Amino acid sequence: MAEMWISMGPQHPMTHGLWTLKVKVDGETIVDADPELGYLHRSVEKMGERRKYFMNTTLTDRLCYASSTTWTHCYVNSVEELMKVEVPQRAKYIRTIMLELQRLASHLMWAGAYMPDLGHITGALYFWRDRELFLNLLEAPSGSRLLYNYIRIGGVKRDLPDGFEAKTERVMKLFEQRLDEYADLFENSKIFRMRTEDVGKFTASQAQNLGITGPNLRGCGTKFDLRKHDAYEIYDEVDWDIQTREAGPGYGDCFSRYMVRIDEMKESVRIIRDCFKKMPAGPTLASQIPVRAQGEAFRRTEDSRGEALMYVVGDGSDRPYRWKIKSPMFTTISACPHYLKGYKVADIPAIMGSIDICIGETDK
Amino acid sequence: MEITSFKQKLSSCKGVTDVSVIRDNVVKLNLGNKESKDFFIKLREDYGFEHCSLITAIDNQPEFELVYHFSAINGSIFVKDSPSAVMVEVHVFLERDTPTIESISDLWGGANWHEREAFDMMGIYFIGHPDLRRVLLPEGFAGHPLRKDYVYEIHEEEW
């Protein structure tokens, strides 16, 4: 049969954002793919060069609407490295709590978007119902539901409100019960496993070379998490473990990526509990925050989707001279011909859904 | 290999100058453009830097600067008594009239689109790149907008 190109997107239920995936098919089998980006390009890096350092947190919030705190945190962290700002201990704990709440909300957003991709609409309703509880928690200290602008250079905007710990504990307890329910609904569902097992496989060495990071890399057995391997905030002081799927018959496929994210959510709950236990009292914002910066610095953090890195160059003025954003999804999407080849057209939503695409950060 | 002995090994490589440890797990160095490919092959094959994190292009006026970040995911280079993964930050300077350098996308698959982005935004040409097209801006866009001399329209708001 003759080979032909099919264009999926920029408006397609599979894409989760505006981008085009061109696939070359031979009958039902994918032989090549060519992803195209740029539909959502807002020139964030160029805009950042015209704004002052502290103004850019509004831009970084908008890099990814599903995980805005982690992006703002990555930017703030690298600017603090550049300006050599010392963050108060309590602010570090509050940041960690907010980052983990954001990771929970982001993973739930992903799980809720992934289920309809596989024809499981019920899953969307269940996961998004739970996400709403975490959004309420994020709203309590920051005042908004999606774009928080809560983490500032030198600390956080304000202290946690009264009763936040009890409220969080109530939500997390409910959430843990629900996760057990979902294990019956999804992990033990034959249809879900047929759609995801042995689909979209890649090995650890392939993934490392192609620049795939985060839960997608841990899904194929590599124990690599920047919260441990380039520890920031207080991740080296709290008690938690890196979640991977061990090498075996079913590792590196869509199901293992699903399981890694579910296990990571359980770890996030553990981190938040430990943070509340160890959190000291004190100020939440550094007393002296410089406006100008000279030199260059970078920090990388574990975003919900993988390795986020921001490289900031200052020329002594109050605006960054150059500001570069590394998005984990940018490289993961670029590698998609490698893990789509050989599978059927009907597997595309299952595979591309499982890597958790966010086009806002990818297109910048 | 421990990071301090790794730093010493790097200083003896061809084309490498100004090697320093800027954070407990980050080594920074400058590299000559001509020797870049040989050095990158060595970095991957001998020292096990499996992951190319980022390629940044900076317009320093007049010259361009490329900053490469590589990461040792499997712990072939390590920091003593610390789980931190070691990174290498490589600075390469390019002339403004001929902003060309050899592509490394055959060594690291993940570098492919970073190089395309540097071409798209800053107009750096990567020799031997399999598919050097614009990635974020549309085909047929004129100029490279992240260059400092790029002229763009500024709409002054009147309110």
Domain count, chain B: 1
Q: Which of A41, A74, A208, A301 to mutate to test the interface with B (most CBs of B within 10 A)?
A: A208
Whether residue B119 is contained in a domain is answered as yes
Q: Which of B53, B89, B108 sits opposite A209 (nearest CB)?
A: B108
Whether residue B154 is contained in a domain is answered as no
Cβ–Cβ below 8 Å for B53 and A309: yes
User: pLDDT of A205-241, one tens digit each?
Assistant: 888 889 899 899 888 888 888 998 888 889 988 888 8
Closest CA to A34 of B13, B135, B19: B135
User: pLDDT of A10-34, one tens digit each?
Assistant: 877 777 778 888 899 988 899 999 9
Whether residue B66 is contained in a domain is answered as yes
Strands A151-152 and A29-36: unpaired
Which residue ranges make up each domain of chain A? 3-363
CATH of the domain at B99: 3.30.460.80
Which element (helix H / strand E) includes B102? strand B100-102
Q: What is the pTM of this model?
A: 0.91
Q: What is the CATH number of domain A3-363?
A: 1.10.645.10
Q: Please indicate if any CB of chain B lies within 8 Å of the CB of A307.
A: yes
Average pLDDT over residues B67-76: 87
List, in sequence order, every residue forming a beta bridge with A307; answer none if it has no partner.
Answer: A302
Chain B CB contacts of A335 below 8 Å: 109-110
User: pLDDT of A309-334, one tens digit each?
Assistant: 999 999 988 889 999 999 999 999 99
pLDDT above 90 as % of chain B? 24
User: Above 80 in pLDDT, residue A1?
Assistant: no
Biggest CA–CA distance in chain A, Å, is 70
User: Above 60 in pLDDT, residue B63?
Assistant: yes
pLDDT tier at B159, thresholds 50, 70, 90: low
Whether residue B144 is contained in a domain is answered as no
Cβ–Cβ below 8 Å for B51 and A208: yes
Predicted pLDDT at A248: 66
Whether residue B142 is contained in a domain is answered as no
Domain ranges, residue B41: 3-127
Whether residue B135 is contained in a domain is answered as no
Whether residue B151 is contained in a domain is answered as no
How would you write chain A as a 3-class SS string? CCEEEEEECCCCCCCCCCCEEEEEEECCEEEEEEEECCCCCCCHHHHHHCCCHHHHHHHHHCCCCCCHHHHHHHHHHHHHHHHCCCCCHHHHHHHHHHHHHHHHHHHHHHHHHHHHHCCCHHHHHHHHHHHHHHHHHHHHHHCCCCCCCCEECCEECCCCCCCHHHHHHHHHHHHHHHHHHHHHHHHCCHHHHHHHCCCCCCCHHHHHHHCCCCHHHHCCCCCCCHHHHCCCCCCCCCCCCCCCCCCCCCCCCHHHHHHHHHHHHHHHHHHHHHHHHHCCCCCCECCCCCCCCEEEEEEEEEECCEEEEEEEEEECCCCEEEEEEECHHHHHHHCHHHHHCCCEHHHHHHHHHHCCCCHHHHHC
